[in-house]
C-alpha cells in the first residue's frame, strides 16, 4: 500500500506539473507576442513621426535642429537611442549613449537604405537585448538622403516573461501541495480508519466476544493479516509529517507585517549591529504637573514603526528634549532607558536653547524648508540667522550621535526628516564606516522651485552624505536627482537612481510610509454598530443631520482646508436636497502657532467656517462643525468609523496618513475616501475618489458621488484599499527602509542597490 500511495502521489504531481507547464508556456508565449507587437506598433508610429521631422530638417540643412530633435525625443519609455545618418552613414545627430549599445552601423540600417523601405530586427549587443527600427530618409526629390535608427531596450519584455514564469511556478507549487494533501487525506480515510477500527476490534475480542465486527469493506484490507501493521505505521508517519508541514508553512508563509516580525527581520539584517535613530521629536515626553511627573507618547507612526526595532536590538534614539521635566529624568550623560514600564532601549536627549529652537525649528525648517517643499503658494522665508542656528543644531546632534556610537563596529543610523539635512554629511565625515539613511517625510520640489533657497548647495551636499535617501514616492526621488544634477558637481546615475559625490554613492529610493493596521482594528467597539455610534456622536455635537463627512488635519495651509470648505459650499449649492442632511466635521489641531502664517491661517479657517454656516444654517443643522483642538487617536478613530466619507484635499503632501488611517478604521468596509491627487497616498489608494482640490466644483461633485454611490461599489473599493494598507503597513515600511540600508554595499567604487526591498 505504501508503494501504491507513493506512485499515486508521484503520478498526480507529474500530471499536474506537466499540464500546468504546458499552460504556462502558452501563457508566456502569448504574453511575449503581445509585448513585442505592442513595442513594434509603438516604434512604427514613433518612427514615422520622427522620420517626417528628420526629413524636414535634412531638406533645410538644419543639423542643429536634428540634434535638438533627437535629444527632445530621447526620454520615451524603453527608448535607448536615436541616430540620424547621411547617405554615407556618417552620423549627423545621435543620442549620447547610442554608441554604447550599437558601436557599429547596424546591418538593418544598411538594408533599409539600400532597399528604400523601413526594416526592423531584434538583436543582442553587449549583453543587452535590443529592438532596432531603421528607415530611409528622403530629400525633396524623393531621393534617399540618409537613414535613421531607433533603438529600444527589450529587457523589460524578458523581465515580464520571468515574472510570468515565477508566478506560474508559484501556482504549480501550490497546486502540487494541494494535490499531495488531498492524496494523503484519501489514503488516511481509506486505510488508517479501517485499520484502526479493525485493530480496536481485534483488541476487544480478547475481553468481549459479543463486540460487533467492523464492516466488511474494512476487512478487505486485512487479508492477509500480516499486512495490517505496515499500512497503520505508514499512515501514522504521514499524519505526523503533514502536521509538521502545516506548522512550518504557517510560520514561513505569514504575509502580514507585525511588530514582532519587523523586530525579527531587522535583527537578522543588523547581524549584531546597533541601530541609532535621530529625530526632532522624542518618543517619550516628561512633563511636571503639580507634584507629579507624567509621561506622554506623541501620536506618531514613526514611534510605532521604529520602537519594536530599537527594543529588539537595544538601540538608541537621539532626539530633542522638549518636556519641562525631561532634564529631571536623564542621567549624567543625558540618557534614560525607555519604555518606562519595560526599559529596552536608550533615549538620548539633546538640549536646545529657546533661540536655537526658534531659529532652527520655527525659522529655517518650518518657515523656510516647509513652504519651499510644499507648493502651496506660501513664500518661504530664509534668514541668515536661522541658517546659522540650523547648522549649529545639526552639528549638536552630530556630536551627540558620535558620542553614542563611540566604538561601535558596524552601526546603522536612521535620520528622520527635513530638520537634519546637514546631519548625514557631518556623521560620515566623523565616522565613515557608519551606514546612514535619511528619510525625507515631505515632498521634494522641482529644481526651479528649490533654487529659491540660498543654501541649496549646502543642503544637497549634506543629504548626499547618506548612503540611502528615502522619499515617499518616485516623483520626489526624480525631483531630487534633477536638483542634484543641476546644482552640484556630482554624477547622477539615473539607471540606478543613485548619486556619486565626493567619491561616495547615495541611493535615492521611494518608501511609501503607512499606518499600523492592526492597531486600528483593536480600537473598534465590540458592540455598537456604525449607525448607533453615529447617532451618539451627532447628539454629543448638538446637531441634527443624516450624513457625515470628516476631515482630520493640522491647521496647516498645505492641507487644503479652505478649499475643502468651498467644495462643501459648492456641493450644497448644486445639490440643495442635502441642505439640512449633510454635515462636514473638520478636526483641526492647532500647530506652529508661533509662526504668523499659521496663526493667520487658523483665523481664516474659522472665518470661512462661520461664513458658510451663517449662509446655510437652519435649526440645529450646520453644514460645517470645526473642532479646533487636539484629539487623541481613539477620538479620531471614532469619527473615522461613523463618517460616510473622509476628505483629504491637501494642496501638496508627501504621503498624508489620514487617508490610510481612515481606510484602516473601516472594518465594516463602508465609507468613501475623497483624496487629493497631490498626495503620495493617491498612488497607493487608487480606489479613492481622486480630486483636484483647486477645482472646488469637481470636489463638491465628488461629495455627491460618494453619498450616492452604490453600497456594493463602496464595499468593493474599501475592501481593495484595506488590503493594500494591511499588506503595506507601517512595519512593512520600516522593514523595507532599514533592510535596504543594511543590504547596501559601502564600497567607494560600487554602485548601490537600486530598488527597494520587496519584503
Per residue in 480-516, pLDDT (tens digit) is 999 999 999 999 999 999 999 999 999 999 999 999 8
Least confidently predicted of 200-214, 598-612, 724-738: 200-214
Can you give the C-alpha Rg of the chain in angstroms? Answer: 33
Please give the Cα distance from 426 to 446 (Å, whole number).
25
Where do the DSSP E strands lie in 529-605? 547-554, 582-589
Instruction: Supply the pTM of this predicted model.
Output: 0.66
pLDDT at 116 over 70: yes
Please give the Cα distance from 666 to 684 (Å, whole number).
17
pLDDT band per the 50, 70, 90 thresholds, residue 90: confident
Q: What are phi and psi of 435, to 5 degrees?
A: -85, 125
Angle between helices 2-60 and 229-252 (to 10 degrees): 30
* Strand duo 672-676 + 689-691: pairing: parallel
pLDDT band per the 50, 70, 90 thresholds, residue 570: very high
pLDDT at 377 over 70: yes
pLDDT band per the 50, 70, 90 thresholds, residue 232: very low
Please give the Cα distance from 749 to 465 (Å, whole number).
15
Q: What SS3 class is residue 659?
A: helix
Contact of 308 with 260, CB cutoff 8 Å: yes
Contact of 547 with 707, CB cutoff 8 Å: yes
Please give the Cα distance from 466 to 504 (Å, whole number).
9
Between 299 and 461, the higher pLDDT residue: 461
Q: Which helix (H) or strand (E) holds 264?
A: helix 259-270
Q: What is the pLDDT of residues 15-50, one digit of tens each?
A: 778 887 888 888 888 888 888 888 888 888 888 888
Predicted pLDDT at 317 = 96
Q: Which residue has the cell 476487512?
A: 219
Sheet bearing 582-589, strands edge to edge: 624-627, 582-589, 547-554, 645-648, 672-676, 689-691
Q: Which helix (H) or strand (E) holds 541?
A: helix 530-541
Least confidently predicted of 161-175, 224-238, 311-325: 224-238
Least confidently predicted of 215-229, 237-251, 404-418: 237-251
Least confidently predicted of 263-272, 364-373, 423-432: 263-272
Q: Is 491 left (phi over 0), alpha (psi -120 to 50) or beta?
A: beta
Predicted pLDDT at 141 = 75
Between 189 and 327, the higher pLDDT residue: 327
Domains of the chain: 1-253 (3.30.450.20), 268-510 (3.40.50.2000), 520-727 (3.40.50.2000)
Q: How does the average pLDDT of the chain come out, rounded?
A: 85
Contact of 470 with 735, CB cutoff 8 Å: no
Amino acid at each position: 500500500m505504501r508503494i501504491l500511495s507513493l506512485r499515486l502521489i508521484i503520478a498526480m504531481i507529474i500530471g499536474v506539473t506537466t499540464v500546468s507547464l504546458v499552460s504556462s508556456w502558452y501563457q508566456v508565449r502569448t504574453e511575449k507576442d503581445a509585448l513585442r507587437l505592442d513595442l513594434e506598433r509603438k516604434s512604427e508610429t514613433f518612427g514615422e513621426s520622427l522620420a517626417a521631422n528628420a526629413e524636414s530638417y535634412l531638406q533645410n540643412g538644419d543639423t542643429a535642429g536634428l540634434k535638438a530633435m533627437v535629444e527632445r525625443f530621447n526620454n520615451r519609455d524603453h527608448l535607448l537611442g536615436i541616430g540620424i545618418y547621411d547617405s554615407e552613414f556618417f552620423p549627423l545627430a545621435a543620442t549620447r549613449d547610442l554608441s554604447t549599445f550599437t558601436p557599429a552601423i547596424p546591418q538593418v540600417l544598411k538594408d533599409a537604405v539600400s532597399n528604400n523601405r523601413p526594416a526592423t530586427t531584434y538583436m543582442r549587443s553587449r549583453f543587452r537585448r535590443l529592438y532596432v527600427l531603421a528607415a530611409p530618409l528622403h530629400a525633396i526629390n524623393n531621393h534617399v538622403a540618409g537613414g535613421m535608427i531607433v533603438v529600444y531596450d527589450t529587457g523589460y519584455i524578458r523581465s515580464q516573461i520571468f515574472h510570468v514564469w515565477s508566478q506560474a511556478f508559484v501556482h504549480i507549487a501550490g497546486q502540487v501541495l494541494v494535490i499531495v494533501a488531498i492524496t494523503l487525506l484519501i489514503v488516511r480515510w481509506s486505510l488508517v480508519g479501517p485499520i484502526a477500527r479493525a485493530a480496536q476490534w481485534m483488541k476487544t475480542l480478547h475481553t468481549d466476544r459479543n463486540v460487533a465486527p467492523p464492516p466488511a469493506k474494512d476487512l478487505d484490507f486485512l487479508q492477509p493479516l500480516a499486512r495490517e501493521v505496515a499500512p497503520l505505521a505508514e499512515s501514522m508517519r504521514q499524519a505526523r509529517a503533514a502536521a509538521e508541514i502545516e506548522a512550518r508553512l504557517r510560520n514561513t508563509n505569514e504575509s502580514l507585517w507585525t511588530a514582532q516580525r519587523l523586530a525579527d527581520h531587522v535583527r537578522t539584517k543588523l547581524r549584531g549591529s546597533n541601530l541609532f535613530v535621530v529625530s526632532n521629536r522624542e518618543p517619550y515626553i516628561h512633563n511636571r504637573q503639580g507634584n507629579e511627573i507624567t509621561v506622554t507618547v506623541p501620536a506618531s507612526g514613526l514611534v510605532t514603526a521604529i520602537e519594536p526595532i530599537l527594543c529588539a536590538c537595544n538601540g538608541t534614539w537621539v532626539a530633542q528634549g522638549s518636556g519641562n521635566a525631561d532634564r529631571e529624568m536623564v542621567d549624567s550623560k543625558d540618557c534614560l532607558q525607555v519604555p518606562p514600564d519595560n526599559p529596552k532601549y536608550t533615549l538620548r536627549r539633546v538640549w536646545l536653547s529657546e533661540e536655537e529652537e526658534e531659529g532652527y525649528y520655527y525659522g529655517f525648517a518650518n518657515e523656510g524648508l516647509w513652504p519651499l517643499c510644499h507648493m502651496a503658494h506660501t513664500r518661504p522665508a530664509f534668514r541668515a540667522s536661522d541658517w546659522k542656528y540650523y547648522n549649529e543644531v545639526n552639528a549638536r546632534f552630530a556630536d551627540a550621535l558620535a558620542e553614542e556610537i563611540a566604538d561601535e563596529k558596524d552601526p546603522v543610523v536612521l535620520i528622520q526628516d527635513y530638520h537634519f539635512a546637514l546631519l548625514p554629511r557631518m556623521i560620515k565625515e566623523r565616522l565613515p564606516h557608519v551606514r546612514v539613511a535619511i528619510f525625507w517625510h515631505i515632498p521634494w520640489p522641482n529644481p526651479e522651485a528649490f533654487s529659491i533657497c540660498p543654501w541649496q548647495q549646502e543642503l544637497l551636499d549634506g543629504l548626499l552624505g547618506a548612503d540611502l535617501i528615502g522619499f515617499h514616492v518616485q516623483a520626489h526621488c526624480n525631483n531630487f536627482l534633477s536638483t542634484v544634477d543641476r546644482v552640484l558637481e556630482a554624477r547622477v546615475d539615473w539607471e540606478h537612481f543613485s548619486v556619486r559625490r565626493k567619491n561616495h554613492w547615495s541611493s535615492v529610493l521611494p518608501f511609501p510610509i503607512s499606518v499600523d493596521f492592526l492597531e486600528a482594528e483593536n480600537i473598534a467597539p465590540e458592540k455598537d454598530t456604525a449607525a448607533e455610534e453615529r447617532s451618539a456622536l451627532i447628539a454629543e455635537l448638538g446637531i441634527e443631520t443624516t450624513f457625515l463627512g470628516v476631515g482630520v488635519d493640522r491647521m496647516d495651509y498645505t492641507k487644503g482646508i479652505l478649499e475643502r470648505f468651498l467644495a462643501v459650499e459648492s456641493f450644497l449649492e448644486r445639490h440643495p436636497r442635502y441642505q439640512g442632511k449633510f454635515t462636514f466635521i473638520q478636526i483641526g489641531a492647532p500647530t506652529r502657532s508661533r509662526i504668523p502664517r499659521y496663526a493667520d491661517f487658523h483665523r481664516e479657517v474659522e472665518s470661512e467656517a462661520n461664513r458658510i454656516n451663517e449662509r446655510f444654517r437652519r435649526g440645529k443643522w450646520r453644514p460645517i462643525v470645526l473642532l479646533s483642538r487636539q484629539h487623541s487617536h481613539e477620538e479620531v478613530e471614532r469619527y473615522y468609523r461613523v463618517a460616510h466619507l473622509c476628505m483629504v484635499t491637501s494642496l501638496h503632501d508627501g504621503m498624508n496618513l489620514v487617508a490610510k488611517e481612515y481606510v484602516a478604521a473601516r472594518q465594516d468596509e463602508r465609507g468613501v475616501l475623497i483624496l487629493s491627487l497631490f498626495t503620495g497616498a493617491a498612488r497607493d489608494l487608487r480606489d479613492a475618489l481622486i480630486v483636484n482640490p483647486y477645482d472646488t466644483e469637481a470636489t463638491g461633485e465628488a461629495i455627491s458621488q460618494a453619498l450616492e454611490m452604490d453600497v456594493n461599489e463602496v464595499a468593493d473599493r474599501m475592501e481593495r484599499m484595506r488590503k493594500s494598507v494591511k499588506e503595506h503597513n507601517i512595519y512593512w515600511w520600516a522593514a523595507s527602509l532599514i533592510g535596504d540600508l543594511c543590504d547596501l554595499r559601502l564600497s567607494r567604487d560600487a554602485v548601490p542597490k537600486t530598488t527597494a526591498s520587496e519584503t
